[in-house]
Amino acid sequence: MRRDKCGICGGDGSTCRVVSGSYNERGSFGYNEVLKIPAGSANIEITQHGYGNQKEDDNYLALRNVNGEFLLNGHYQVSVFRQQISIQDTVLEYSGSDHVIERINGTGPIRTDIYLHVLSVGNLYPPDIHYEFMVPAQNVRFGYETSVTNYYWRISEHWSECSSLCQGQQKQELICVDAISSRSVTDNFCISHRPPTETRMCNIDCTIK
């Protein structure tokens, strides 16, 4: 029996909708969150087109799970070769970074939320990421219906105020984003687990007496 575009065996394609968009914000050095791909998503297609048609444009796709653990290209280690990414009972395919167009794709559906990041290093060229996937119009789980969330957390380029006038700390700020419009909204719209953010020292050119 064939799967429909929603990833449902024998389905008629009426139980899902398309989420698509692009991301080309020049991020800070390191891992910058692009979006959350929610549980139930199917026919996932993600591409990153190298800046100036270069294979090595210093932007690389990365994936994390809901616990903040890397599924792909974590800890500043990027896979050059094609590989499979196992997410519970689902497998996504990764092209490897040695291509002008870096790609992640899979039929799905995935059974848990995953987070797409871009690792930006070197010259910090703006990425050129395009994504498309199907999400269920409604999730039917455990005998009841719940609407699929249309909001996700994104790690901002901005940092919090320094915690101290001397030898303090700052955290990267999180913003809640509408997955359809890509606009920021108030935090109460995001009901998912907040992803981990980085902390850095600030006001370090001083001495505590």
- Same domain (yes/no): 7, 69: yes
- Same domain (yes/no): 86, 157: no
Cα 80 to Cα 6, 72, 126, distances in angstroms = 31, 11, 20
Angle in degrees, CA 133, 70, 120, rounded to 5: 80
The whole-model pTM stands at: 0.65
- Same domain (yes/no): 108, 183: no
Domain of 195, in residue numbers: 149-209
Q: CB of 151 within 8 A of CB of 189? A: yes
Domain boundary among 86, 114, 142: 142
Q: Which residues contact 122 (CB under 8 A, 6 or more apart)?
A: 58
List the CATH number of the domain containing 48: 2.60.120.830
Q: CB of 18 within 8 A of CB of 136? A: no
Mean per-residue pLDDT over the chain, rounded: 84
d(CA 106, CA 91): 7
Tens of pLDDT, residue by residue over 40-93, are: 888 999 999 998 888 788 999 999 998 889 999 999 999 999 999 999 889 999
Between 139 and 46, the more confident residue is 46
- Same domain (yes/no): 112, 160: no
Residue 142 confidence (pLDDT) = 30
The 3-class secondary structure across 155-196, one letter per residue, is: EEEEECCCCCCCCEEEEEEEEEEECCCCCEECHHHCCCCCCC
Sequence length of the chain is 209
Q: Which residues contact 84 (CB under 8 A, 6 or more apart)?
A: 91, 92, 93, 94
- Same domain (yes/no): 121, 153: no
- Same domain (yes/no): 14, 91: yes
Residue 82 confidence (pLDDT) = 96
- Same domain (yes/no): 133, 164: no
- How many domains does the chain contain in total? 2
